[in-house]
Structures are given as structure tokens and as C-alpha cells.
């Protein structure tokens, strides 16, 4: 079973190009209980969808990768895959680390990228045509309250990273650059919208991981 966790503000649309082996289910976002609900507490609520005795995969994209790791601590039978995400708090880019330490992120008018789609396209690396239109739709539908909470949690996340998590990352990601972090499956030329722009490669890797796991169990 594949449990898919999208990035900040995204939904099942970003997973439509994936071709997985076996059934999948997207974990839909819950409304934060408060503006300061801790990520671990939120993850525990989200984990209620995942049976504790189930061998499964948790695939987290961008901000969803943080939740995949937090849920993985609560579901030790789950294998975690991170796509365009952080493997640990150390992977946060210096500028975002500064924003979290100084509180500058609180000054950002959430929803700004909704009105600057071309800037968003540059950050996310969405190519023209259907990718650009999908990104615009996702930005348009993002709840500013959730975005504010999620951004704050991203910037103050202390982890630690989950040992054994498998990482896929674009080599040209502008939003969360890979830096010197360990990447198990670097995708040359891919940017932050990797889950959509390189869905075929992502699908291939996920199927291979599932095949290896099945062989090991067998």
C-alpha cells in the first residue's frame, strides 16, 4: 500500500502522473487545531489513517516529507520515501533558516505567489503548458491559514531526520536545493516540481523500491 502525502497546499492532482505497483491512498490535509499545533501532534492525527500493523510505503513530497518522517516514527512497519524534501533540519537552506530564526516569515503576505504565478513557476521549476496551469491551480486553491501554519512548522522543524528514509531530489531544485545532503536518487536537471515534471522517473524508482522490498521479504 502506498500512502501519498502532498506538499504544502497541494492535493491529489500532483500524483496523477504516477504509475505505482499496488493500491495507493492520498492522506488529505487536516485543519490545524491551532496556529501553533506542533508538527508531531499534527502527524499523529494524520497517522490515524495508516494501520499500525500494515507494511506500507509513506511517500512525502516537499513539506509532506516532514510529515512522512514524523508518521514513520509512529508506524515502524512503514518505509519512507522523500521527494523534493528535507532529510533533516540541517538541509534547510541558509536563507530559510534565517527567516525561521528571525521570524521574517511572519511578514510574508501568504498568497503572494498566487498573484505572481511566473515567479512561482521559476521557484518550483514548473514547465509551460499543463505543468504551469496545474501549479497556478494549486496556488489558487491553497488555504492561506494552512500555508502560514505549515511554513512556520517547516522553518522550526527540529527532526531528527528518519534513518533509512529514501530520498529523490532534483539537482536543480531552487526552493529546497539539495546542497551537500545525501540523495539516494538524484534526478538530473529536475527542479522542485519533480513529482509532476519527472513523474515517469519517480514512478520507476518507486516501483523498483517496492520490487526490492518484496524480494527481500520473499
Domains and CATH numbers, the chain: 2-217 (3.40.50.1820)
Percent of residues, the chain, with pLDDT higher than 70: 88
All three cell numbers of 37 = 499545533
Q: Could you give phi then psi for residue 85, rounded to 5 degrees?
A: -130, -175
In which band, very low, low, confident or very high, does the pLDDT at 102 lie, cut at 50, 70 and 90? low
Q: How many CB atoms lie within 10 A of CB 161?
A: 21
In this predicted structure, the answer to whether residue 175 has a pLDDT above a threshold of 80 is yes
User: What is the band of 108 on the pLDDT scale with cuts at 50, 70, 90?
Assistant: low
pLDDT at 215 over 90: no
Residue 29, C-beta contacts closer than 8 angstroms, at least 6 positions apart: 6, 11, 146
In the chain the first and final C-alpha atoms are separated, in Å, by 17
Q: What is the DSSP letter of 104?
A: G
Q: How far apart are CA 26 and CA 5, in angstroms?
A: 6
Amino acid at each position: 500500500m502506498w500512502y501519498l502525502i502532498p506538499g504544502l497546499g497541494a492535493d491529489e492532482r500532483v500524483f496523477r502522473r504516477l504509475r505505482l505497483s499496488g493500491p495507493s491512498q492520498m492522506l488529505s490535509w487536516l485543519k490545524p487545531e491551532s496556529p501553533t499545533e506542533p508538527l508531531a501532534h499534527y502527524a499523529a492525527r494524520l497517522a490515524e489513517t495508516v494501520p499500525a500493523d500494515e507494511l506500507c510505503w509513506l511517500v512525502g513530497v516537499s513539506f509532506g516529507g516532514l510529515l512522512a518522517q514524523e508518521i514513520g516514527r509512529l508506524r515502524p512497519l512503514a518505509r519512507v520515501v522523500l521527494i523534493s524534501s528535507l532529510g533533516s533540519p540541517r538541509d534547510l537552506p541558509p536563507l530559510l533558516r534565517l527567516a525561521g530564526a528571525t521570524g521574517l516569515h511572519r511578514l510574508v503576505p501568504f498568497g503572494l505567489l498566487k498573484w505572481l504565478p511566473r515567479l512561482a513557476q521559476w521557484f518550483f521549476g514548473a514547465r509551460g503548458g499543463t505543468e504551469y496551469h496545474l501549479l497556478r491551480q494549486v496556488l489558487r486553491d491553497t488555504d492561506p491559514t494552512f500555508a502560514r501554519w505549515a511554513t512556520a512548522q517547516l522553518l522550526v522543524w527540529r527532526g531528527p531526520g528518519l534513518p533509512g528514509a529514501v530520498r529523490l531530489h532534483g539537482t536543480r531544485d531552487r526552493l529546497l536545493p539539495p546542497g551537500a545532503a545525501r540523495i539516494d536518487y538524484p534526478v538530473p536537471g529536475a527542479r522542485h516540481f519533480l513529482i509532476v515534471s519527472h513523474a515517469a522517473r519517480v514512478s520507476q524508482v518507486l516501483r523498483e523500491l517496492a520490487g526490492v522490498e518484496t524480494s527481500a521479504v520473499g
